[in-house]
Amino acid sequence: MDSLYVYPVVWLALAGIVAGLIVMNSNLDGYTAVLRSNELLKRQILQLNWLRKSLWFGILLLVVVSIATVSQLLSERNRVIRSARESVWPSYSPEKIWKAPDISLAETDSEADLIAYGRDLIAHTQDYFGPSGLVRPNAINGLNCQSCHLDAGSRPFGNNYFAVASTYPQQRARSGSLETIPKRINDCFQRSLNGQPLDSTSREMRAIVTYMQWLGTGVPKDAKPRGTGLVEVPLLDRPASPELGREVYVGKCASCHGSDGQGLPIPPDGARAYPPLWGDKSYNQGAGLFRLSRLAGYVKANMPFGATFDNPQLTDEEAWDVAAFINSQPRPEHPFLATDWPDISKKPYDHPFGPYRDSFPEAQHKYGPFKPVAAFYKKK
């Protein structure tokens, strides 16, 4: 079936044959006109007419058979590709940890270019929107989407995008509105990347959305496969401690993210970069990671770099404490404080900005202990 490249040759030969037959056929026209002037040759005229009709029939047959053959070959080829793809595509089951489809499979997709572009935008966001960004320079802070959505959003419990296609558009309490995938993507542009939103009709936005939809192919509508997003670290009975967290940070994080938390600048040669954890170049206070449970969940299953959900390197306490230390450091302010969570009773227990429906102080919403706060909202 790989020999489909010979098709141009086959079609050329076929066109040659058809053209030859048509020339013969029109020559016969002229010949019968000459013969018609002679009464004695009527029989020959009749035979020639037969010959001409069968030539037309032959031409028709040839064309029909060729088209049928080619479309048969094409659909056979598609069937082989489809079944090969199905045999390696992750199959959804509520019990199994979902794995991302192999990226090489995207090459046979009709949207291959867009998927590859979307993935690159996620993995190397700095190249497109960073200081010398190709699409729009200086539009974001010092992070890539991949800094937080590991392996371009394809790692189990690495804050992946497995359930994006299946669960959006969705009603979200943070904005109090129905959010589409582009709206949700722009949330991260404006908060986690502390930057400007993308035009929802831009090629960049279409590419990112197409990539996410491709990643979620096979996940049934509304399903959230196991391994989606982040792990939930069990709540502690005490407040998370920035002081204890500083010790964890110095011992297990500073080697890559720097003792000043600024990481290493992303070099132009694309070598592995260590992103900033606080300060002007990091996420702002409106970002998901500014909620302690999100940061603890991210860190528990993924940091120090190389840790995984099934091979974590921090205890639950270390994860909460180091998260408390990181989020106690300075960072850009919350850009949407006035409009987020229009219904304050929907604020998550670890949203560190009042006003609240409950009477726990802001500090407890930031560092815990969270059990009483969570219990307050569970009762209702």
Q: Which residues bind ligand HEC (CB under 6 A)?
A: 122, 125, 143-150, 159, 161, 163-164, 184-185, 188-189, 192-193, 208, 229-230, 252-253, 255-257, 272, 274-277, 282-283, 287-289, 294, 298-299, 303-305, 314, 322
| Nearest distance, CB of residue 221 and ligand HEC, angstroms | 14
| Nearest distance, CB of residue 272 and ligand HEC, angstroms | 6
Cis peptide before 268 (omega within 30 of 0): no
Judged by CB, which is closer to ligand HEC: 159, or 364?
159
Q: What's the rounded Cα separation, in Å, for the pair 304 and 302? A: 6
Phi-psi region of 159 (alpha: psi -120 to 50; beta: other; left: phi over 0): left
| Nearest distance, CB of residue 281 and ligand HEC, angstroms | 9
Q: Which residues are within 8 A (CB) of 125 and not within 5 positions of it... i.e. 6 or more apart?
A: 140, 143, 144, 145, 146, 193
Judged by CB, which is closer to ligand HEC: 58, or 258?
258
Q: How far apart are the first and last CA of the chain?
A: 63
Judged by CB, which is closer to ligand HEC: 128, or 356?
128
DSSP H helices, the chain, are 7-36, 42-88, 112-123, 125-129, 145-148, 150-153, 164-167, 181-190, 203-215, 242-252, 254-257, 292-302, 316-327, 362-367, 371-378
| Nearest distance, CB of residue 115 and ligand HEC, angstroms | 14
| Nearest distance, CB of residue 138 and ligand HEC, angstroms | 15
Judged by CB, which is closer to ligand HEC: 105, or 277?
277
CA 216 to chain centre: 8
Judged by CB, which is closer to ligand HEC: 240, or 287?
287
> 99 in helix, strand or coil?
coil
How many DSSP H helices and E strands does the chain contain?
15, 2
| Nearest distance, CB of residue 297 and ligand HEC, angstroms | 7
Judged by CB, which is closer to ligand HEC: 97, or 256?
256
Strand partners, 171: 178
Q: What's the rounded Cα separation, in Å, for the pair 254 and 276? A: 11
Q: What's the rounded Cα separation, in Å, for the pair 332 and 137? A: 19
| Nearest distance, CB of residue 14 and ligand HEC, angstroms | 49
Judged by CB, which is closer to ligand HEC: 52, or 370?
370
| Nearest distance, CB of residue 230 and ligand HEC, angstroms | 5
Judged by CB, which is closer to ligand HEC: 43, or 272?
272
Judged by CB, which is closer to ligand HEC: 233, or 287?
287
Q: What's the rounded Cα separation, in Å, for the pair 263 and 326? A: 13
| Nearest distance, CB of residue 22 and ligand HEC, angstroms | 58
Judged by CB, which is closer to ligand HEC: 105, or 207?
207
Cis peptide before 369 (omega within 30 of 0): yes
Q: Which residues of 56-76 are buried (b: 16+ CB within 10 A; e: fewer)?
A: eeebeeeeeebeeeeeeeeee
CB 317 within 8 A of CB 230: no
Q: What's the rounded Cα separation, in Å, for the pair 261 and 279? A: 8
| Nearest distance, CB of residue 308 and ligand HEC, angstroms | 13
